[in-house]
Structure 1
């Protein structure tokens, strides 16, 4: 019998559902469970084995297994598995191939139509990589939908929804959290706003929290393990599985016991539900805070929602339903089988799409025969559009929450708290997350322009990524934005003069503001307490202070100064000038090497990069670059510098180990600013003269994308997690938000 297949390729589990003409049901993939783990094992003969079979083999050979690889799709670094390199696409292909084989063997024939799901925040780059995977296993014409769309389709198939009804879907799975806004209508479902998601928020992060708790209770027992010891590796893998079981049991019980069997030591760890909830409250709060952003994007309020649908295995944690309901003031609906909802919905969509293809073919045939339906539009189109994608099933609009894991806490709901209201930003100043940045994509995309006040000339993101400070020179003020909601939290007056450049201390507690006007009168460095937005002190400067740098210990501020041409060193504790070094003309920017041993000074008037020893203030080298260099950026992952040459219409790359030029790359007109992706894979150059941002792959020296901005872009600041960047547009009074992860 003809059937269609929906596959949810999750980070931790894979689920598949079969849709027949009158029903959709789960297909059992696992040995003792409907779902199967997203695990791949490399056998001695090179065969890639997935699922439960891979898990069984991993017990004795953990070095031959790989998990959670879906998170790395788009990362060009290969995955090493038993000494062999694989792309993430290879691994996903192995999993999908096993699913297709099992289903085909059981059903006796291949599916008529297959639909795969993916996280809502994946852009064209990663969707394109996923689209290539079915071809590896012989599939053609495979549909792609977002995971929230699949959940919404399943929900709608069992509940009749009225036109225009709104439902919030909170999709918290094993490794990702998804967000989308949907609205039901006569033709199906329409996505409202921009789908978003959190790449690194899910059950595996909660498992790691429990594992860390075990380590602490055990006095660092896990830290003391020799990970190269096969016995230790097997014991650690078993402990991870016991942590998963503990997490799941706490959804039913108020406490549990975790057995710990390590080489030479055995003990137990008691864990209560309240202790576990304390571990995960912050990331759940960040997803709830992001609800404001999702609703604002869709122009929907909580009161508009008929309810909140919780899907994904991790949504069964009782704290999730409680916090979501309290935050929205709306009822929550936990799907009967939250792990299965996405796959079941994908199967429903696959069935509907096949029906639409048949209908379209009939219309085409009718048109060829002169029929009257030739111009009727076909529904069920899934072309990747995020604004008006529809499928022909009676589904409600669905709002899904999104945020950057480890990046945001609950920020006060304030649009503009007025001058000096720094207490409203204090809640956003928490420790920096150690989560690695997401893989950057070669083709960023620009969102809608954001208001930024009058003449926004420079912007800087706080070290934890939660706040964006914008220097509005003509208005003599700073605007403070919440990067989660892109709304203004505060306006900070700077009465001493126009703020020009901004630099954070390493802990984000202080902001150093370079102040001067064109005459140089009233020049100073103002020190701002970012928890209160109050000025702590000022350092008068005999000249024009440009963009400074702060030493890694936060004790030294290195400031390039025009007239006289020099670099000043300031003690940030006493706010006293401790040194001045004469340099070539027009020093405009300073960056420190990652080890702090070198300071790179841009000398615009001399077409040079001057290398200083920050400790002694002595010049140790000079590197000729292009015409009128304006800014420099240090790669966060490799010894590489990038310098933009304003009059040279180029960017110069330098080897930071030898301080020599490696290449010069033509870019747009009058490049003014430069920044690296958080993972160091790509370079972003702001072109003031033609209102664009150039993306460069430093490995090839080629421009991979040119993204339009508003008028007169002047600076760029990248979030530490690598997801977005903000470009200030001086003349337009706006910010351009760039999605950097595809």
Structure 2
């Protein structure tokens, strides 16, 4: 069954969604699992011996033993003059983004048995036309030419509009708490999509990594004696610390749904479980999350839109599921923000919906061109002298009477008259020439002595 693919390459996580076509209709966008453990994978790449890249969990596993060939955090460096070092090679950041897109497209194609009809990439709201152009060039270099790019807030708004109707000209505010930063954008509904109003407010804080750091710092303080003895230069101990921080991130995600979570502490010299409650977690991260409503207010003000005129407040990103952030935004705007059950997947779903719109637009244009370039004539009207057009009868024109055309009489030319007329024209022309010559000769001589005229020189005395 044909499908389109939406991909969101976030700073720390990558997700994908598809929309299938059944006949002439498209179904809803649904996420596609990119690993055996869930729909998202880390935005990590590892260059292998044949020069290609592996991504996701497979690349993350290589970080412990071949970390010099592993690269992450490259989405924020697209368009930089300096490329990124991967092993012993320098690779532009846009080429790394394209490699992730290629890996996701191949992974989904293997699952579904054939490639997508169209691919849409949801990218960072901070990218401008230049960065988007660089990524398109990198994708074309990999043979992916049938692809479009859409800003992440637009993709989030499209996903929101697929569930709740948004009237034309209505304004929607989208706040995204990503892995490495925060951005807020105001958009206005303009069929068939959304238009960004003003500029996107971008901030490095708060972020998902800030929340992870707070949990990790809390554990380091709790087990300061044991963790303080670890040597980060030792590969095994460094890997143990990296595993502990990853478990802190999993506990953070679990606390969004449960009142408590357990962090597994497994490092040299210490192996235990640490229980962390949601209330304690919210105390740790509240200084970061309290910035969300204030930054969102700034974004709305910069767009010259009154908060009361917003039709919806949409929170996206994995950290948006934290109950505290919804509470803080609701108190500041006096309205409840909308958070999807899987806020880390809404951008990918919106990108898939954008791909549907691209194909539908192409199909409509082709159909319109076919209708306007070909005129059909239906022979044999039904009884009663009616032609049927688009299911409705239309009365045919009555037959027209025959037209009789009588030829116009032209008098034949008189040859003698034409010959005498030509002689007279030639004679008149000859007389005019002779008269002109006579006047020229007469003007060249003076009237009395017949001598040529000479210039007169006057002397001043």
TM-score past 0.5 threshold: yes
Q: Which residue of 2 aligns with 1:197?
A: 202
The 1:125–1:319 alpha-carbon spacing in structure 2 relative to 1, beyond 3 Å, is: same
1:317 deviation in Å?
0.8
Q: What is the rounded CA distance, in whole Å, between the counterparts of 2:309 and 2:207 in structure 1? A: 27
Preserved contact between residue 150 and residue 346 of structure 1 (Cα < 8 Å): yes
Task: Note the alpha carbon deviations across 1:710-741, whole angstroms, 9 max, x for none.
Answer: xxxxxxxxxxxxxxxxxxxxxxxxxxxxxxxx
Preserved contact between residue 206 and residue 291 of structure 2 (Cα < 8 Å): no
1:10 deviation in Å?
1.2
* 2:309 is equivalent to residue 304 of structure 1: yes
Q: Which residue of 2 aligns with 1:134?
A: 139
Preserved contact between residue 215 and residue 248 of structure 2 (Cα < 8 Å): yes
1:348 deviation in Å?
0.7
Q: What is the rounded CA distance, in whole Å, between the counterparts of 1:149 and 1:293 in structure 2? A: 19
Q: Which residue of 2 aligns with 1:109?
A: 114
1:172 deviation in Å?
1.8
Preserved contact between residue 8 and residue 118 of structure 1 (Cα < 8 Å): yes
* 2:292 is equivalent to residue 292 of structure 1: no
Secondary structure of the structure 1 residue equivalent to 2:224? coil
Task: Note the alpha carbon deviations across 1:161-210, whole angstroms, 9 max, x for none.
Answer: 33343333222232343322122245543322223333554212221222
1:138 deviation in Å?
1.1
* 2:324 is equivalent to residue 319 of structure 1: yes
Q: How does 1:190-339 map to 2 (within 5 A)?
A: 190-199=195-204, 201-219=206-224, 224-266=229-271, 269-339=274-344
Q: Which residue of 2 aligns with 1:7?
A: 7
| Number of corresponding residues | 371
1:120 deviation in Å?
1.4
Greater fraction of residues in strand:
1
Q: What is the rounded CA distance, in whole Å, between the counterparts of 1:161 and 1:244 in structure 2? A: 35
| Root-mean-square deviation (Å) | 2.7
Q: How does 1:131-170 map to 2 (within 5 A)?
A: 131-170=136-175
Preserved contact between residue 193 and residue 298 of structure 1 (Cα < 8 Å): yes
Q: Which residue of 1 aligns with 2:389?
A: none
Preserved contact between residue 176 and residue 201 of structure 1 (Cα < 8 Å): yes
1:44 deviation in Å?
4.3
Secondary structure of the structure 1 residue equivalent to 2:8? strand
Q: What is the rounded CA distance, in whole Å, between the counterparts of 2:123 and 2:87 in structure 1? A: 28
1:365 deviation in Å?
5.3
* 2:128 is equivalent to residue 123 of structure 1: yes
* 2:96 is equivalent to residue 86 of structure 1: no
Preserved contact between residue 119 and residue 197 of structure 1 (Cα < 8 Å): no
Q: What is the rounded CA distance, in whole Å, between the counterparts of 2:247 and 2:68 in structure 1? A: 19
Q: How does 1:713-724 map to 2 (within 5 A)?
A: none
Q: What is the rounded CA distance, in whole Å, between the counterparts of 2:186 and 2:155 in structure 1? A: 13
Secondary structure of the structure 1 residue equivalent to 2:290? helix
Q: What is the rounded CA distance, in whole Å, between the counterparts of 1:81 and 1:268 in structure 2? A: 36
1:370 deviation in Å?
9.6
Preserved contact between residue 210 and residue 288 of structure 2 (Cα < 8 Å): no
The 1:106–1:254 alpha-carbon spacing in structure 2 relative to 1, beyond 3 Å, is: closer
1:80 deviation in Å?
3.1
Q: What is the rounded CA distance, in whole Å, between the counterparts of 2:226 and 2:72 in structure 1? A: 24
Secondary structure of the structure 2 residue equivalent to 1:234? helix
1:369 deviation in Å?
6.3
Q: How does 1:319-398 map to 2 (within 5 A)?
A: 319-364=324-369
Q: What is the rounded CA distance, in whole Å, between the counterparts of 2:352 and 2:215 in structure 1? A: 35
The 1:58–1:180 alpha-carbon spacing in structure 2 relative to 1, beyond 3 Å, is: same
Q: What is the rounded CA distance, in whole Å, between the counterparts of 2:250 and 2:294 in structure 1? A: 29
Secondary structure of the structure 2 residue equivalent to 1:23? coil
1:3 deviation in Å?
1.8
The 1:112–1:252 alpha-carbon spacing in structure 2 relative to 1, beyond 3 Å, is: closer
* 2:184 is equivalent to residue 179 of structure 1: yes
Deviates more, 1:182-191 or 1:148-157: 182-191
Task: Note the alpha carbon deviations across 1:207-255, whole angstroms, 9 max, x for none.
Answer: 1222222223333765654323111121122112111112112223334
Q: Which residue of 1 aligns with 2:398?
A: none
- Higher RCO (CA < 8 A, seq sep 6+): 2
1:71 deviation in Å?
2.7
Q: How does 1:64-103 map to 2 (within 5 A)?
A: 64-103=69-108
The 1:332–1:122 alpha-carbon spacing in structure 2 relative to 1, beyond 3 Å, is: same
Larger radius of gyration: 2
Q: What is the rounded CA distance, in whole Å, between the counterparts of 2:51 and 2:188 in structure 1? A: 47
Unpaired runs of at least 5, structure 1: 372-742
Secondary structure of the structure 1 residue equivalent to 2:319? helix
Q: Which residue of 2 aligns with 1:648?
A: none
Q: What is the rounded CA distance, in whole Å, between the counterparts of 1:218 and 1:261 in structure 2? A: 12
Equivalent of 2:37 in 27, 32, 54: 32
Q: Which residue of 1 aligns with 2:17?
A: 17
Unpaired runs of at least 5, structure 2: 21-25, 377-461
Preserved contact between residue 120 and residue 196 of structure 1 (Cα < 8 Å): no
Preserved contact between residue 173 and residue 300 of structure 2 (Cα < 8 Å): no
The 1:285–1:153 alpha-carbon spacing in structure 2 relative to 1, beyond 3 Å, is: same
Preserved contact between residue 148 and residue 180 of structure 1 (Cα < 8 Å): yes
Preserved contact between residue 62 and residue 237 of structure 1 (Cα < 8 Å): no
Deviates more, 1:55-64 or 1:129-138: 55-64
Preserved contact between residue 176 and residue 316 of structure 2 (Cα < 8 Å): yes
Task: Note the alpha carbon deviations across 1:303-341, whole angstroms, 9 max, x for none.
Answer: 222332222211011111111111111122221321211
